[in-house]
Amino acid sequence: MSDEWGWCTWVPQGVRDQVEDFWRYHGGEAGWRADMLRQGAPKYGAVVTMDDGFGSNPAQVTGMYVHAWNNIGRIVMPDGTFRYTSFVSGRDYTATPEDAFADAINSPDLDMSIPDPGLPEDVRLFGVLTGDGFTSTPDGLLARARAVLDGVTEGPWVQVGFGNVQQVPAGQHPPVAKAWRSANGEFIAQSRTLVPELVALAARQAAEIDRLSTELDTANTKAAHP
């Protein structure tokens, strides 16, 4: 995937590997880019001053931002290392000219070319941007449901004692999940079969809608040109 995306040379391999691993939870690279917009993250490659880590009173560091997922990102430092950070949606973290990173970004050894991380055509599968934020489309819901099933242990699952959720038949395999509340455990167990069933139902309904739309278009065309 990194070859398709074309990472800038300033992004460390460790950051690339971590972010690409997250892509499977975002429906691929396109969904990851859509997540940047939905979360109100700093732009890819923006020079920012942000928290170094997630402590109660973290130090501030300045570097170039790379989005990970949700409100979590990475800050690439001038020496090629990187830090973990989080952000508040929509907040301006732009670094001031006085920050230490200002000189480093002018280095001739640093490739500062930033590919446009705008929405590609296939992001329509994951939702549409509206005035009120990011709203999922029916196709987007299907794509997210299929993506979350990728690589999941085969079902069905069942909740057993001590908060464990196991593959059926219970006791023959290690637990696939653990939930301390029985309602949560039951939800996890039932979701393993409910999600595929709902995906199949939604796909059938979408196909039927397409068929009816085609029939309606044909009927309207005939009526307009008797």
What tens digit of pLDDT does each residue of 176-210 get?
888 877 778 888 888 888 888 888 888 888 888 88
Give the pLDDT score at 73.
93
Helices of type H across the chain: 2-5, 13-23, 28-39, 101-104, 138-149, 182-224
Instruction: Give the pLDDT band of residue 15 (cuts 50, 70, 90).
Output: very high
Reply yes or no on whether the pLDDT at 213 is more than 70: yes
CA-to-CA distance for 101 and 76, rounded, in angstroms?
Answer: 10
> How far is the CA of 50 from the CAs of 8, 104, 181, 214, in angstroms?
21, 17, 36, 52
Which of 78-82, 83-87, 193-197 holds the top average pLDDT? 83-87
Which amino acid would we find at residue 137? T
Look up the pTM and report it. Answer: 0.48
Domain locations in the chain? 2-114, 136-224
DSSP designation for 94: B
Give the bridge partners for 175, in sequence order: none
Looking at per-residue confidence, does 143 or 160 come out higher?
160
- Please write the tens of the pLDDT for every residue from 114-151: 444 444 444 434 444 444 444 456 666 777 777 777 77
Torsion-angle region of 118 (φ positive above 0: left; ψ -120 to 50: alpha; else: beta): beta
- Please write the tens of the pLDDT for every residue from 19-77: 888 887 667 787 788 888 888 888 888 888 999 988 778 888 888 899 998 889 999 88
Picking from 53, 84, 90, the residue whose alpha carbon sits closest to that of residue 67 is: 84
